[in-house]
Structure 1
């Protein structure tokens, strides 16, 4: 099994994006976001996305060097026009400005339009948590979920994320789609020629399917049935309607080769400065007690440990630092070819006794 060093993968991403015209700062953000997703075991939002991003930069469907407009509508409201840039870049600059504002006022709401896919929402929650801010993040996406009772995809998978800092650099990070599974996992399965588990999706006729291709033509099932569909609607209103971005089927699909219009994805963030609500030390004492007491709850027979959201990702990242990041052959082939296109050699696998 071939595994790759995270620093080498980041350098590859940065060099590739730089050759296409992205600034050093922005390429570093995108590379860090993508490779961090791989390190944390979220491969569907990792470096496998680099080929499609690159293709859309080259065919001018995504602006590689956007003129991002950050407008302070009030001391606590930031409205952003992303100029059709990549979502990672737009959200990063928006979050930095939002953190500055929240530290002054206590709260900031950020509405973003004219964006694109932004990777994992957890990435931006962690940026805020590092500054001892709470972050709640939302994004819409191309149609993936049918409204409850329907069979045609209408809402995006529309994730919701929360980030809460702790005093030991182990934040609570909650990142979940309003679908039963992120659509990116189905895209990855389709690219690898794999089936998906039962209960993930329906085909275009509304029938359950284990075919990734049929699922992409049909609909991902909402998380918790009608409740997940209701949450998807709420996210659509915040990210699409309130921000002025596209909503529902008007959000364009990055993977649709026939599409020429900008995706116009919308994001929405809420930032809270803990110190404006409660003494920071008291907050840390309370959240640590909460987590400790939660983890001390008697375990079910099949459970070896109770973990809070963010712990598994952190452990996966630590393992990846030591053992490297595994890339499927299909993803590896795409990345090698992409590197060859720009005369950038893909990194060599790590040498370790763990490899066979």
Structure 2
């Protein structure tokens, strides 16, 4: 049995591998052995009724997100996932289904379950179709939280494809973000991801919410007892705040880049709801994949990409920066650094996870 009162190796850390966090730097942290974290996530999900293979898939994905430095989509997510199953918001026994509609378009229906298996099925399918025909599209519907989008973009890029993912349509149930110029939360975070084969260091990956931060950072900061950076949220009167409670007391997340993030969010809403139809569960998604070998051989594309990216990496850094980074390489470097390291969680978050595991009487030996 797990003793929630005795978490292992509590300490505060300034480890550069953890510097990608948006939580305040004085947030106390606990290091959890990755195999223990995996057993907890798998145990909680199976206790809630998920098939064991799906539970393992979700646990792998969350731990990979933490190792990639994307804490907003990491192991802490097991807390809201458990709540979603308890409330009936997600179906524990759901398995995604691949089908065609009456117009011939390919769709993955998540059957109201967690979205990570559905997104994994979709990316494998769209890669296969792109390799066969050059260009492919697939939509996703009736899915819960889909995890870190960059993971799917990486998979497609490693397979030689350009992949574009656009999500949205959840505005009625997930009013999180204020439209640019407004102070009321009316939109979801409507994320995008792009993956494309890169240079010698791997794919170029773009993965961002159209909000100033993913909602997971705000919800996670509340659980962790941490403050947020400036420029992420406003309070109910439209004033800037760093306290996550200001968001939960009627505030809103801001758009990324002001009108630019807002415009991208509106475009995602048009694609995901107006085009794909009313949303069930969290969001609708569209994936587009292109076989890059239609234009360049993989070797030649890598050579050209590396020439471009090397010039960017060697740009003299501005004051306050150590170097210029390439999108996606930071996450790849973090995974390499963290491959054999424990998962680092805010101590307050770990305490809640340990308490959940204890409540469920999980056998973690």
TM-score (norm 2): 0.84
Comparing 189-198 and 283-292, the one that deviates more: 189-198
Identify which of 40, 48, 51 aligns with 2:68. Answer: 40
**What per-residue deviation string (whole Å, max 9, x for no partner) do you get for residues 55-107 of structure 1?**
22233220122243322359994223221111112111111111111111111
Q: Which residue of 2 aligns with 1:326?
A: 344
Q: Does 1:81 align with 2:114?
A: no
SS of the residue aligned with 1:136? strand
Q: Is the 8 A contact 2:153 2:205 kept in 1?
A: yes
Q: How does 1:147-166 map to 2 (within 5 A)?
A: 147-166=179-198
* Aligned counterparts of 2:139 and 2:256: Cα–Cα separation in 1: 25
CA offset digits 1:168-210 (Å, max 9, x no partner):
5622111111111222111111222233232221112222222
* Equivalent in the alignment of 1:258: none
Contact 1:160–1:176 (CA under 8 A) maintained in structure 2: yes
Residue 263 of structure 1 aligns to a residue in which SS? coil
TM-score using structure 1 length: 0.86
Alpha carbons of structure 1 residues 25 and 241: separation in structure 2 relative to 1, 3 Å: farther
The unaligned stretches of length 5 or more in structure 2 are 1-10, 12-29
Q: 2: CA distance between counterparts of 1:116 and 1:90?
A: 9
1:212 to 239, 244, 248: 244
Equivalent residue of 1:65, what SS? coil
Over aligned residues, Cα RMSD in angstroms? Answer: 2.3
What is the CA–CA distance in structure 1 between the aligned matches of 2:93 and 2:240, rounded to whole Å?
Answer: 42
Match of 2:359 among 341, 348, 353: 341
Q: 1:64 to 1:153 in 2, by over 3 A?
A: same
- Could you give the per-residue CA deviations for residues 279-331 of structure 1, whole angstroms, max 9, x where no partner exists? 22211111111111221223324332221011221222222224322111222
Moved more, 125-134 or 159-168: 159-168
For residue 160 of structure 2, what is the aligned residue in structure 1?
132
Corresponding residue number in structure 2 for 1:315: 333
Determine if contact 2:108/2:121 at 8 Å carries over to the other structure.
no
Matched, 1:64 2:82: no
Change (3 A) 1:22 1:169: farther
Which residue of the partner structure matches residue 242 of structure 1?
Answer: 275
Structure 1 Cα separation of the partners of residues 255 and 106 of structure 2: 30
1:201 aligns with 2:233: yes
CA gap of 1:161–1:319, structure 2 versus 1, over 3 A, is: same
Query: Partners in 1 of 2:108 and 2:301 — Cα distance?
Result: 31
In structure 2, the residue matched to 1:294 is 312
Q: Which of residues 203, 209, 216 in structure 2 aligns to 1:177? A: 209
Match for residue 120 of structure 2?
92
Q: Which runs of 5+ in 1 are unaligned?
A: 247-261, 348-356
